[in-house]
Structure 1
Amino acid sequence: MTRFQNPTDGISQEALAGLVAEAVQQALVQHGMAMDPQALASAGAIAGSVAAALTFLSQTQRLAIETFRGEWTALATEFVQSMAEKATRQGTTTRNVAVVNEPAPADDSDKPASLLPRERMLQSMLIEDWAGEVAGSTYLEEKFRIPRSTLHRWQRRNEVIALRKGGRKHVFPLAQFVDGRPAAGINDVLSAIANPRLAWFWLNRAAPELGGRVPIEMLKHDMVQEVVLAARGFATT
C-alpha cells in the first residue's frame, strides 16, 4: 500500500487531494487534452478530492464501492453534470438578487489575507515532500560559495525563492540556482505570485499555461518573458 492509499502516515485528506490534483493535471497535459487552464484545474481538483475521500473511507466502505465498478464512469458523469447544473443555478440566483442597504465591509487591513486552498495545502505539508532539494544559508555558503550577505540581499529584493521552515528559518530550493545565482526572472514571478511557497510550487512543476513545460527550467534558458506572462495568468486563475 502506497502513502497515497494509507491515511495513517500523517498526510491530511486536503493535502492528499492537492497532490492527486497536481498529478491529474500533469497527466492531462502530457496526453494533449485540449482544456483551458481553469477547466484543467477543476478537473484535477475534482479528481483529487474524490480520490482522497475514497482513501479515507473505512475498508468496509471501500469494498462496498468496489461493487459499483462497472458503473463508475456513468456515476462520475452524473456527479459532474450535477455539479455543473448546481453551479449554474446558484450563479443565476446570485445575479438576480438585489443588494439593498448593504453595510460597508469592516476594515480588515490588519488581518492577513486568507489563503487559497492550494496555499493552505502547501502550508500543511513538509517542504521536503514537495519542494525538491532545499538548503539553508550555511550550505549555500559552503557548497555554492554564496555569502550570507548576498543571499539576504537577494531575499530582500525578491530575487530568490526563500521558504520558511519552522519558526524564522528559511531554506532555498537548489533548483533555482544557475552558476551560483538565482535564475533570472524569479523577481517578476514573485511579483505575480506573491506567496513564495505557491510561486515555487508553480515554478517547479509542469505548467499547463506553458504547454506542460517546467517554468524554472525555462528561466534557466532565459525564456523569462514567456514564464512571467504565464505566471500572471496562473495568478489570475
Structure 2
Amino acid sequence: MTRFQNPSEGISQEALAGLIAEAVQHALMQHGVMLDAEALTSASNIAGHVAAALPFLPPAQRLAIGSFKGEWTNLASDFLRAVTDKVVSDGSAISDRAFERSPPRSETGGPTAQPLAERAADLQSMLIEDWAGEVAGSTYLEEKLRIPRSTLHRWQRRGEVVALRKGGRKHVFPLAQFIDGRPVPGISEVLSAITNPRLAWFWLSRAAPELDGRVPIEMLRDDVVEHVVRAARGLS
C-alpha cells in the first residue's frame, strides 16, 4: 500500500482496529501494566481505533498529523478528557450501561444468584485475556514476583493457585491472586469447591450476587476468607 492509497480496498478500518487493540493489550500485559480487565480492554480499544483511523484519513489530514511536533502525551491526555466529558454528559447512555451490567434482583430487592455454569458457558471459546484480567506465565512470575518455578508448580499440583490452561500444555496465572509472592488465603478452598479452574476464576474475579455484589478475589485480598469460601461451597 502506498502512502496515500485508500486502505478500504484491503483490510477494513474496524478489522485493523481489532488487530492493533489485541497487540496493545498483549503489550500492556507483558510489561506488567496494572489495570483491571475492563480498563485494559478500554485502553486497547482506544489505541486500536485511534491508530486504525489514521490510514483512512484524507491525505491532507494525514500530512498534518505527520508534521505534528507537539507533546503527544499531553495531546493524548486532552483527548481522553474530551472523551470522558462526552461520556459523562451522556447521562442516559451511562444509566443504560449500568443497568445492563447490574446483577439480577430478587423480589425483595436483593441480588439473585445465577447458576455459575450459565454465567461461564462461553469461557472455553473465549481468549483468556478477554475475561480473566491480567495473567502471566511462570517466567514473568519468577522474574517480577520472585516465585521460583518449582514453588509455582508445587502450588499448582496441590490446588493452591489458579492456573489457566492456554494452548497446549502452557498455563498462565491470574496476577490478582498473589500478594507478596504468595497466593492469597482461601484460593485452595475455593478450588476445592469449584474444581474447574476457569469457572473458579470466572467467579472469583466478578461481582458475586451471593456476596452482595462484592468481588470474591478482592475480599480474599482483604483477608475476608470465610464468607468467600462459604459462598463458593454453596455454588458447588
Unaligned runs of 5+ in 2: 1-14, 19-97
Q: Secondary structure at the match of 2:232?
A: helix
Overall identity of the aligned pairs, in %: 70
RMSD: 2.8
Q: Distance in 1 between matches of 2:187 and 2:202?
A: 13
Contact 1:26 1:212 in 2 (8 A): no
Partner of 1:174: 175
Q: Distance in 1 between matches of 2:227 and 2:102?
A: 22
2:138 is aligned with 1:137:
yes
Contact 1:165 1:171 in 2 (8 A): yes
Shift of 1:197: 0.3
Q: Distance in 1 between matches of 2:178 and 2:171?
A: 16
Partner of 1:148: 149
Partner of 1:121: 122
Q: Distance in 1 between matches of 2:212 and 2:124?
A: 27
Shift of 1:34: 2.1
Contact 1:193 1:231 in 2 (8 A): yes
Structure 1 segments, 4+ long, off by >6 Å, are none
Letter in 2 for 1:161: V
Letter in 2 for 1:27: S
What's the TM-score, normalizing by structure 2? 0.54
Unaligned runs of 5+ in 1: 1-5, 10-22, 43-114
2:202 is aligned with 1:208:
no
Q: After the TM superposition, which residues 1-237 of structure 1 pair with which residues of structure 2 at under 5 Å, given as runs? A: 26-28=101-103, 34-35=109-110, 37-38=112-113, 41=114, 116-235=117-236
Letter in 1 for 2:109: A
Q: Secondary structure at the match of 1:28?
A: coil
Letter in 1 for 2:152: L
Partner of 2:50: none
Report how many residues are paired: 140
Shift of 1:166: 0.3
Q: Secondary structure at the match of 1:158?
A: coil
